[in-house]
Amino acid sequence: MRIGVDTGGTFTDLVMLDEGRIRVHKVRSTPDDPSRAILQGILELAGRRDVSDVAHGSTVATNAVLERRGACVALVTTGGFEDVLRIGRQTRRELYNIMVEDRRPLVEPALTFGIRERMTAEGDILIPIDRAEIERLAAELKERRVDAVAVCLLHSYRNSSSEELVEKCLSDAGLVVSSSHRVLREYREFERWSTTVLNAYVTPLMARYLGTLETKLGSGSRLRIMQSNGGSISASAAKASAVQTILSGPAAGVVGARAVAEAAGFSRIISFDMGGTSTDVSLIDGAIGVTTESTVGDFPMRLPIIDIHTVGAGGGSITYVDTGGALKVGPRSAGADPGPVCYGKGTELTVTDANLILGRLDPSYFLGGRMPLDMERTKAATREFAAKLGMSDLALAEGIIRIANANMERAIRVVSVQRGFDPRDFALLAFGGAGGMHACEIAEKLDISTVIAPKDAGVLSALGTLLADVTKDFSMSILRPVGAVSGEELDQLYAPLVSQATQDLQREGFDDDHIGIEQSLDVRYIGQSYEITVPYEPSYREEFDTHHARLYGYANPRRATEIVNLRVKAIGLTSKPELPRLPGKAVSQIFSEDMRHAYFNRRRFPTAFLRWDALEPGAEGTGPAIIAGAEATTVIPPNFRFRIDEFGNIIATRTGELRSRKNHG
- Do the Cβ atoms of 253 and 432 come closer than 8 Å? yes
pLDDT cut 90: percent of the chain above it:
70
> Alpha-carbon distance 83 to 25, whole Å?
48
Neighbours of 197 (CB within 10 A): 26
| Strand, helix or coil for residue 218 | coil
The top-level CATH class assigned to 73-205 is alpha beta
With 50 as the cut, is the pLDDT of residue 653 above it?
yes
pLDDT for position 586: 65
pLDDT band for position 658 (50/70/90)? very low
Q: Kind and range of the H or E element at 127?
A: strand 125-127
Residues pairing with 570 in the sheet: 472, 517
pLDDT of 535 strictly over 80: yes
On the question of pLDDT at 347 being above 80, the answer is yes
Torsion over CA: 441, 443, 447, 451 (sign): negative
Split at pLDDT 50, 70, 90, the class of 144 is: very high
pLDDT (tens digit per residue) in 557-597? 999 999 999 999 999 998 887 888 887 666 777 877 789 99
pLDDT tier at 657, thresholds 50, 70, 90: very low
Residue ranges, CATH 3.40.50, the chain:
73-205
Write out the H or E segment, with its range, that includes residue 110: none
- Cis peptide bond prior to 109, omega within 30° of 0: no
- Residue 480 near residue 562, CB atoms below 8 Å: yes
pLDDT of 259 above 60:
yes
Among left, alpha and beta (phi > 0; psi -120 to 50; other), residue 603 is: beta
Cβ proximity of 444 and 656 under 8 Å: no
For residue 664, the model assigns a pLDDT of: 37
Which residues contact residue 66 at a Cβ distance below 8 angstroms, ignoring those fewer than 6 apart?
296, 297
pLDDT at 534 over 70: yes
Q: How many CB atoms lie within 10 A of CB 649?
A: 25
pLDDT at 9: 66
One-character DSSP codes across 66-86:
HTT-S--EEEEEETT-TTHHH
**Regarding predicted confidence, which is higher, 453 or 276?**
453
**pLDDT recorded at residue 663:** 41
- Tell me how far apart the alpha carbons of residues 113 and 79 are, in angstroms, rounded to a whole number: 8
Q: Is the dihedral of CA 439, 444, 446, 449 positive or negative?
A: positive
For 48-81, how does the pLDDT look when each residue is reduced to its tens digit (9 = 90+)? 888 888 999 887 888 788 778 899 999 999 999 9
More confident residue, 611 or 578: 611
Q: What is the mean pLDDT of residues 473-500?
A: 94
3-state SS assignment for residue 108: coil
Does the pTM exceed 0.85?
Answer: yes
603-611 sheet: strands from edge to edge: 595-600, 603-611, 625-628, 633-636
| Cβ pair 244, 303 in contact under 8 A | yes
Helix (H, G, I), strand (E, B) or coil at 415: helix
Average pLDDT, the chain: 91
Give the pLDDT band (50/70/90) at residue 220.
confident
pLDDT value, residue 384: 96
Q: What is the pLDDT of residues 15-58, one digit of tens each?
A: 998 777 888 888 888 878 888 999 999 999 888 888 888 999 88
